[in-house]
Amino acid sequence: MPPTIPMTTADALPPDLQQGHVINRATILTSRGHPNPHTARDGLAEWAQKCNYDAVIGVRLLATPEILMPGEITTEVKWAAYGTAIGW
């Protein structure tokens, strides 16, 4: 089952999710080298939960080509997710 933590591409949580909480810590995090955007997003959520953060804001997904063999033209698309983990 994928991790359950509030995540948004916006720079803040919706007011009903942040209600009553004061953000007292934040860190930028990344999850790279994934085969698709879903596993990149889930990797970001797992990292945030493992480090006891409560939500992730400003989530961005990025596809990057990776060269499989030096000297060859063959590439493979890998996915990365970036965001700011916040805790209260």
Q: Is the pLDDT of residue 2 over 80?
A: no
The amino acid at 13: L
The confidence score (pLDDT) of residue 1 equals 59
Minimum mean pLDDT among 8-12, 15-19, 64-68: which range?
15-19
Spatial contact of 29 and 47, defined as CB atoms under 8 Å apart: yes
Phi-psi region of 73 (alpha: psi -120 to 50; beta: other; left: phi over 0): alpha
Give residue limits of the domains in the chain: 21-63+78-87
Average pLDDT, the chain: 90
Tell me phi and psi for residue 51, to 5 degrees: -95, 15
Give percent above pLDDT 70 in the chain: 97
**In which residue are the tokens 């990149």 written?**
40
pLDDT digits (tens, 9 = 90+) for 37-71: 999 999 999 999 999 999 999 999 999 998 888 78
Q: Which of 19, 35, 20, 25 is nearest to 76 (CA)?
A: 35
